[in-house]
Structure 1
């Protein structure tokens, strides 16, 4: 899917994320945003969902503010992105993750769940690569450690499958199983 709005969202994501790299690995943050947008599109997401997917980490990880998203893409896209934004630090890691899960559970927007699932699909795939190629060195880059990562990924998938039905959850489940196997093999 392509449209001028999607092109503007790509530009906005790249401007917001710049050339910053993800926490673990050499991939750029913007590459993750583009990947999540492609996954949403692959699973039939409408334009608003793809736009929100491209912007899903901007409020949390960049200096982009809500007004820019609202002005460029409207209140609905802003609502989806807000659903996917964790509380700011210094809130403890576990509490941020619990708040994220609860916000998704309570959201009236299935589009938020689609983007969240696509985000987790890409994160899980990246984490499997990291576990297989870097082992314990990869885990050391994360605050939560392996057990926390396993807990969070299981809880997000459990909540989504309990609250909602969508074909994307099959791929989400496959990536979760790959991650759990890679985590088990590391122990």
Structure 2
């Protein structure tokens, strides 16, 4: 499959509409990534909306594509939840798409530890992501942008904790694309205001 992926190239580009705006993705590469996302995430659904889960990794990919059109980075963006949520592991991703893609996805995968409470787990995640590669941090910024608005809208009680965790994460995760990090910080501030307004109306 890795060989098939590497053949998806074109000199033409298209602007593709997603929930958060336009992303610039190579036409044939986009076809491959959309098909891969739909197949890999299957019938999995989003927690709050019931929408197909693959829409989230595709949105993350489109957001990243504003600033990075590297095919392996875009593939890692689509695959970023596969080890954590689906029947994929590092070895399988490496066999399919090579070591670089597998490494980036591995960096983005939360390590399960049922013996720790949430605060302890998130502290470990922050330390890991603070040391992650430029590519992994850039994808994580897009992941935060994609998730934040939905959580504020559909689960305001959890959103207060979630936003505090993401603010702490962005404070230490400074090595990715600075334009996307700025967008994540702006999105965080907007989400905090939206949450305050939502709570005041209850």
Q: Same fold judged by TM-score > 0.5?
A: yes
Would the aligned equivalents of 2:135 and 2:176 in 1 still touch at CA under 8 Å? no
Counterpart in 2 of 1:180? 192
Counterpart in 2 of 1:85? 109
Note the C-alpha offset of 1:164: 5.3
Larger Rg over CA atoms: 2
Q: For 1:20 and 1:127, locate their aligned partners in 2 and report how far apart those are by CA, in whole Å.
A: 18
The TM-score with structure 2 as length reference comes to 0.76
The TM-score with structure 1 as length reference comes to 0.81
Change in Cα spacing, 1:26 to 1:99, as seen in structure 2 (3 Å) is same
Note the C-alpha offset of 1:183: 2.0
Counterpart in 2 of 1:22? 46
What is the CA RMSD across the aligned residues, in angstroms? 2.2
Note the C-alpha offset of 1:23: 1.7
Q: How does 1:64-83 map to 2 (within 5 A)?
A: 64-83=88-107
Counterpart in 1 of 2:76? 52
- Give the alignment partner of residue 104 of structure 1, picking from 129, 135, 145: 129
Greater helix content: 1
Would the aligned equivalents of 1:6 and 1:50 in 2 still touch at CA under 8 Å? no
Q: For 2:147 and 2:135, locate their aligned partners in 1 and report how far apart those are by CA, in whole Å.
A: 18
Greater strand content: 2
Higher relative contact order (CA 8 A, sep 6+): 1
Would the aligned equivalents of 2:163 and 2:188 in 1 still touch at CA under 8 Å? no
Q: For 2:117 and 2:192, locate their aligned partners in 1 and report how far apart those are by CA, in whole Å.
A: 24
Where do 5+ consecutive residues of structure 1 fail to align? none
